Amino acid sequence: SSELTQDSAVSVALGQTVRITCQGDTLRSNYASWYQQKPGQAPLLVIYGKNDRPSGISDRFSGSTSGNTASLTITGAQAEDEADYYCYSRDSSGLHHYVFGTGTKVTVL
Amino acid sequence: QVQLQESGPGRVKPSETLSLTCTVSGGSISSYYWSWIRQPPGKGLEWIGFIYFSGSTNYNPSLKSRVTISVDTSKNQFSLKLSSVTAADTAVYYCARMLDRGTYYPLEYWGHGTLVTVSS
């Protein structure tokens, strides 16, 4: 089982805001990064670190962390934001090992 | 723009060794960390391991006994070998470049992925 737990699915009305969470003790001391994956495509990095976005990623995406929970917020969700989202971080071993979250399916209504 | 391309057999027989290569273009393999990730059909992502361009490696403990990742800087490639495969190893395999942020390393560039099916 994954050390990073996410809700399996969330839905959001077009233009509204949705927050996706990722829980795990490792997040108390390690940053998460977030990946968007659309059907048949490779994952795409959307948020990393405290709240950094790669070039070309919409500013609708933002990230934050509190305690053992990392969050990805989509503000003003668009139809093209419908996808699976995964968090990713170092695991709790203290070694340079990594783990993905269980994934969240976001549906835009 | 950095591009990664996975290549290798699409089908491997049970108990044999899965071998994949990731070719990096648009940039040097040097001075970066490089990862392999896989995704079984309809399931989530699993980190397999990574290699630094110098050759140092780190593997997922659950796969460590069967995994070898190597690098060939002269060809700008890195490779994955997974031994003693079973049907549970059927997955899309991705290679990715890790962004060095000092204490954390997000996966900034990904290949398109290649499906490997374990079947006799």
pLDDT for B91? 98
pLDDT for B8? 97
d(Cα A53, Cα B27) in Å, to the nearest integer? Answer: 21
Rounded to a whole number, what is the distance in Å from the CA of B112 to chain A's nearest CA?
5
Distances (CA, A) of B3 to A4, B23, B30, B45, B112: 29, 8, 14, 20, 9
Task: Report pLDDT digits (tens) over B13-37.
Answer: 999 999 999 999 999 999 899 999 9
Task: Report pLDDT digits (tens) over B72-104.
Answer: 999 999 999 999 999 999 999 999 999 998 888
Query: Mean pLDDT across chain B, nearest whole number?
Result: 96
pLDDT for B102? 85
pLDDT for B82? 98
Nearest-CB residue to B108 (from A2, A54, A90): A54
| Interface contact flag, B44 A96, Cβ < 8 Å | no
- Dihedral pair phi/psi, residue B87, rounded to 5°: -60, -30
Nearest-CB residue to B106 (from A48, A96, A99): A48
Task: Please give the structure tokens belonging to residue B67.
Answer: 């995994």
Instruction: Return the percentage of chain A with pLDDT > 70, whole number.
Output: 98
Rounded to a whole number, what is the distance in Å from the CA of A31 to chain B's nearest CA?
7
